[in-house]
């Protein structure tokens, strides 16, 4: 048995675990410290109660510890390590996969594995370019990671910046394998005809004409995401160019009032859809022509909305602060711009607006970023340590 420790059920990780269960039935158990994302919790950045409406606890073995102190996911001590040592000592898994080093529970799990001699694997999104740090913070952080990684048996990197981080902090290349950051395509169950139908229906609901370009922002309306840059870019365009665009903000957060104020003079060009849950988000990606993720250098380690938009065939504009820019830069309908550069954002929008909408232009390329591909990498490592376990990678 291999244990995967995670803080809480997440909509882009559960499908990976479901695929592992299909490939190696009964071999992996996911241990959640909390199930707050299923029960619902107040997300400070969304500014609202969030409960994902997709099945996050079905299709694979899991258990929930409910080790919460105060508000879950609200700081290091909010998820405790109560009972983790006893669990590991009793069950004696062949390996433990850690998903982050953020909470007390993670450190207790790590130290318990060291004490009990259980091999430790990691798959987390940490990279070194997400923030600008002082020299002393960089040194202290580097010391922590080099010390932690000395005891790692295997690391799954989710992307190129994550791989560089692991190598820089002492994980040898022969202990690395790719298990890319991934998401289930929200529109994958739909036929081409259904995608067209969903696209036309939502655009009609929003009053967007067939000849107009819909620009989408999807995420938290917070400083890190820098959604204001989109409106600043519109102001860099001529009135004729801007008139051919409609901007839709999906999400909520502290900047919502500011954005509404900034867009007050933009007659019927900007719409605010509020928080949209997973079961409904596909319609917005299908309706959109261009997704923009204009993040600042403030911790955007990946940018999963880019995956979802590409799976729906959107063109994408993102800043260099977005961690996944290293994966997708150079793709036909992807433009990477300088941070905080409204002029360059405007030019990218105008360039991509000339393209004819296609749902499947990067379908083959995105297979590498599927939950199945991520699961296959983990299964291959399980086969390395336990070749006689039932099941096999497909």
The structural domains of the chain, with segments of one domain joined by +, span 2-182+370-385, 192-363
Q: For residue 251, give the nearest of 221, 222, 287, 277 by alpha carbon.
A: 221
Dump pLDDT digits (tens) for 260-294.
999 999 888 999 999 988 778 999 999 999 999 99
- Those residues with Cβ within 8 angstroms of residue 266's Cβ, 6 or more apart along the chain or in another chain: 231, 234, 242
User: What does the pLDDT average to over 12-23?
Assistant: 96
Looking at domain 2-182+370-385, which of 3.40.309.10, 3.40.50.2000, 3.10.450.50, 3.40.50.2300 is its CATH number?
3.40.50.2000
Class of domain 192-363: alpha beta
Rounded distance between C-alpha atoms, residue 181 and residue 127, angstroms: 13
Rounded distance between C-alpha atoms, residue 127 and residue 337, angstroms: 20
**pLDDT score, position 50:** 58
Rounded distance between C-alpha atoms, residue 133 and residue 70, angstroms: 30
CB 68 within 8 A of CB 43: no
**pLDDT score, position 392:** 46
Rounded distance between C-alpha atoms, residue 95 and residue 336, angstroms: 39
Rounded distance between C-alpha atoms, residue 204 and residue 215, angstroms: 15
Do the two domains 2-182+370-385 and 192-363 of this chain adopt the same fold?
Answer: yes
High-pLDDT (> 70) share of the chain, %: 95
Dump pLDDT digits (tens) for 28-74.
999 999 999 888 756 665 555 656 567 899 999 999 999 999 999 99
Measured distance between the N- and C-terminal CA atoms of the chain, rounded to whole angstroms: 19
Rounded distance between C-alpha atoms, residue 25 and residue 314, angstroms: 35
- What is the band of 243 on the pLDDT scale with cuts at 50, 70, 90? very high
pTM of the model: 0.93
Q: Look up residue 8 and give its DSSP letter.
A: S
Tokens encoding 324: 């996944």
**pLDDT score, position 267:** 80
CB 303 within 8 A of CB 324: yes
Dump pLDDT digits (tens) for 121-162.
999 999 999 999 999 999 999 999 999 999 999 999 999 999
In the beta sheet, which residues pair with residue 214? Answer: 246
The 3-state DSSP class for residue 157 equals: strand
Rounded distance between C-alpha atoms, residue 94 and residue 24, angstroms: 14
Would you tell me the crossing angle of helices 84-91 and 104-116 to the nearest 10 degrees? 40
């Amino acid at each position: 048995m291999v244990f995967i420790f995670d803080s809480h059920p997440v909509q882009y990780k559960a499908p990976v675990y479901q695929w592992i269960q299909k490939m190696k039935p009964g071999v992996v158990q996911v241990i959640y410290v909390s199930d707050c994302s299923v029960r619902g919790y107040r997300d400070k950045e969304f500014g609202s109660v969030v409960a994902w409406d997709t099945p996050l606890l079905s299709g694979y073995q899991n258990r929930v510890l409910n080790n919460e102190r105060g508000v879950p996911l609200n700081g290091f001590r909010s998820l405790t390590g109560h009972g983790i040592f006893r669990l590991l000592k009793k069950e004696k898994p062949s390996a433990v996969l850690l998903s982050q080093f953020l909470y007390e529970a993670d450190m207790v799990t790590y130290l318990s594995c060291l004490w009990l001699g259980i091999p430790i694997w990691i798959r987390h999104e940490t990279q070194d370019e997400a923030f600008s740090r002082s020299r002393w913070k960089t040194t202290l952080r580097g010391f922590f990671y080099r010390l932690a990684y000395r005891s790692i048996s295997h690391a799954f990197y989710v992307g190129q910046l994550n791989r560089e981080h692991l190598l820089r902090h002492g994980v040898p290349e022969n202990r690395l394998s790719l298990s890319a950051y991934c998401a289930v395509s929200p529109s994958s169950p739909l036929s081409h005809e259904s995608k067209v139908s969903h696209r036309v229906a939502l655009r009609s609901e929003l009053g967007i004409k067939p000849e107009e370009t819909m620009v989408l922002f999807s995420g938290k309306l917070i400083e890190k995401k820098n959604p204001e840059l989109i409106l600043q870019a519109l102001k860099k365009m001529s009135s004729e160019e801007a008139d051919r665009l409609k901007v839709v903000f999906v999400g909520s957060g502290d900047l919502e009032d500011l954005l509404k104020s900034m867009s007050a003079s933009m007659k019927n060009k900007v719409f605010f859809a509020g928080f949209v849950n997973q079961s409904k988000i596909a319609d917005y990606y299908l309706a959109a022509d261009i997704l923009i993720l204009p993040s600042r250098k403030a911790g955007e380690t990946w940018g999963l909305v880019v995956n979802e938009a590409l799976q729906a065939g959107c063109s994408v504009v993102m800043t260099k602060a977005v961690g996944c820019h290293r994966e997708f830069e150079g793709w036909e309908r992807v433009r990477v711009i300088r941070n905080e550069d409204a002029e360059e954002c405007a030019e990218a929008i105008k360039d991509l607006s000339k393209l004819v909408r296609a749902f499947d232009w990067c379908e083959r390329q995105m297979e590498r970023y599927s939950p199945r591909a991520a699961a296959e990498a983990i299964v291959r490592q399980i086969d390395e340590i336990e070749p006689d376990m039932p099941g096999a990678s497909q």
